[in-house]
Amino acid sequence: MTRNPAAGSRASRRSATIGSLALGSVLLSSGVALADPTEEEAQQRYEQLQEELSGLNEAYNQAQEDHEAAEAEVSDLEERVEETEENLQEMSGRVSAIAQSTYTGSTHSLPGLLFGGSPDNVLQTIADLDFLSVGQEAVMSDYVEEAERSERLLSQATEAEERAATALEEAETSFEQGEQALEEQSEVLDTLGGADPTASTEPVGDPSGGGGTAASGDVQAVLDFARAQIGKPYVWGGTGPDSYDCSGLTQAAWAQAGVNLPRTTYDQVNAGTQVSRDQVRPGDLLFFYDAAAPSHVGIYSGDGRMIHGSNPSKPLEEVNLADYWDSVFTTAVRVG
């Protein structure tokens, strides 16, 4: 059975999205390269851009979800408007038939015209044609009001979809700018002979084995899947099977255990029981940077290691947390 953990509030996600986009504009605008940076300064700038890019990626994911939801709402309302208009046209035809029947003095076919059934089954008698006309007018009025209401809702939904599309375009542009800034900073770091501070400085252990507490069957399926993705490209917005971003990988991995994780880190952090760093077990989700709205996530693989994807400059990998990630760790979540 597929389990669907509770997601965080839409308000918090929206705030995180707006905050990430705002952060991106601030950092990118203030990210003027130092004339002669030291290796330490270059590494600090790289770490800053890495954090920013993680936030921009999740902001893009949230904007994409919002846009898809807005498109679905428009589609549903378009069907509703079409159905309402068809009902209105049908009722208009029946009213026209009533008028014609009244004019010619024929009333016996009236119930059939109105309701498509036998007169005996619908109305036993028609004592007052004027009363029936008044009732029919009320029915017509209801149909007209419903049609107008559906049109208003569709108009509002269309405007919301357009706003969501604009937000998605802005999120995409911001991420592209952040990606370019990180690539340029990586070149600066290489020139100074520095190493990527977010990567492992020591080889990780045997990727075929877990670490720490033995994993249950479900968790082992999650870890096996995650390890099988190591080496695949990191692509922002990626959900597999050929490429992933950080939350796309965790979502796909936990799907192997029948768990339907939310799409973004903003929601995944609320998808289980939070545990401290010293309590983590293989399969737990690890979150980083902002405690209120974490923008990066990985899967704890045991023995102080994590499987994740950090940015487009390198593929999905397994890293030692102590090298960098422990310094920006915020919380862990046990799923299931």
Q: Which of 296, 306, 320, 325 is flagged as catalytic?
A: 296
**What would the DSSP string read from start to end of 63-104?**
HHHHHHHHHHHHHHHHHHHHHHHHHHHHHHHHHHHHHHHHHH
CB atoms inside a 10 Å sphere around CB 292: 11
Do residues 70 and 79 make contact, with C-beta atoms less than 8 angstroms apart?
no
CA pair distance 177, 174, nearest whole angstrom? 5
Q: Exactly one of 73, 188, 308, 333 is catalytic; which is it?
A: 308
Q: How far is CA 298 from CA 20, 30, 287, 288, in A?
A: 19, 29, 7, 9
End-to-end CA distance of the chain: 12
Verify whether residue 296 is a known catalytic residue.
yes
Look up residue 234 and give its amino acid: Y
**Cα(38)–Cα(14) distance, integer angstroms:** 38
Q: How far apart are CA 174 and CA 57, in angstroms?
A: 9
Distance, in Å, from the CA atom of 242 to the CA atom of 228, rounded to the nearest integer, reads 11
Catalytic residue among 70, 246, 306, 319: 246
Q: How far apart are CA 210 and CA 183, in angstroms?
A: 33
Strand order in the sheet with 296-302: 273-275, 329-334, 285-288, 296-302, 305-308, 317-320
What are the φ and ψ backbone dihedral angles of 281, each rounded to 5 degrees?
-125, 160
The answer to whether 24 is a known catalytic residue is: no
Token pair belonging to 53: 């890019």
**Residue 246 annotated among the catalytic residues of the structure:** yes
User: Encoding tokens for residue 292?
Assistant: 């209120």
Catalytic residues: 246, 296, 308
